[in-house]
Structure 1
Amino acid sequence: MIAKTPEPPYYAVIFTSLKMKEDSGYAGMAEKMTQLAQKQQGFLGVESARESLGITVSYWKDLESIKKWKQNVEHQEAQQKGKSVWYKSYKTRIAKVERDYEFGK
């Protein structure tokens, strides 16, 4: 589903990952983190796709909201498990969205 975001500017956190083959509870934790993020102040939406390469883009009102999400205790626990169990590698990018446009039928 395409996230409904407000007029720019806002921020995008782009999380790109290569996952290990075994799930080991990954899908459940990913769903839990999405639900938890949705409750965070400044959260605007999320989009995610996974094949062999996973990409999740979450949208945030400001940099302070992103910082608070990164510091969330449950999110930090998931990050640690990601490093020890789920991911071969990952990269996180934070970008300011200055313009967007869309098409839809």
Structure 2
Amino acid sequence: MSIAKTPPPPYVAVIFTSLRTSVDEGYAQTSEEMTAMAEGQPGFLGVESNRGADGLGITVSYWRDMESVRAWKAVAEHRMAQKLGRERWYRAYCTRVAVVEREYGFSV
């Protein structure tokens, strides 16, 4: 796991917060496939993801602009993964889309 390397703002962050069910069948493979597919999409900048032992997960994907976010949302395989998520893998989720106006940090 590493911190995504993003360009200077502005750019878009899509924050996906979820609570998992106990069903694991196909989840890891689909998650890996969606990450790989997103990485190949125009406008993709990076992703950060973590899940706690309690099942709460947060994934933040970064995109050049809203057009890139909309294009990713429309990808058929991504839409199918969303459907499976609602049917099998998530008890609840919330997606938030925000424009990043400022960032700062440090690294050693």
- Give yes or no for TM over 0.5: yes
The residue type paired with residue 58 of structure 1 is S
Partners of 2:34 and 2:96 in 1: how far apart?
Answer: 18
1:1-105 alignment, distance < 5 Å: 1-51=2-52, 52-105=55-108
Q: Which runs of 5+ in 1 are unaligned?
A: none
SS at match of 1:104: coil
Give % identity: 58
Structure 2, unpaired ranges of 5+: none
Inter-partner Cα distance in structure 2 for 1:73 and 1:31 = 16
Using the size of structure 2 for normalisation, the TM-score is 0.96
Q: Give the SS at the match of 2:3.
A: coil
The count of aligned residue pairs is 105
Aligned mates of 1:45, 1:101 — CA distance in 2? 16
Q: What RMSD, in angstroms, separates the aligned Cα atoms of the two structures?
A: 0.5
Q: Residue 22 of structure 1: CA displacement?
A: 2.1
Name the CA distance, whole Å, in 2 between partners of 1:49 and 1:86. Answer: 16
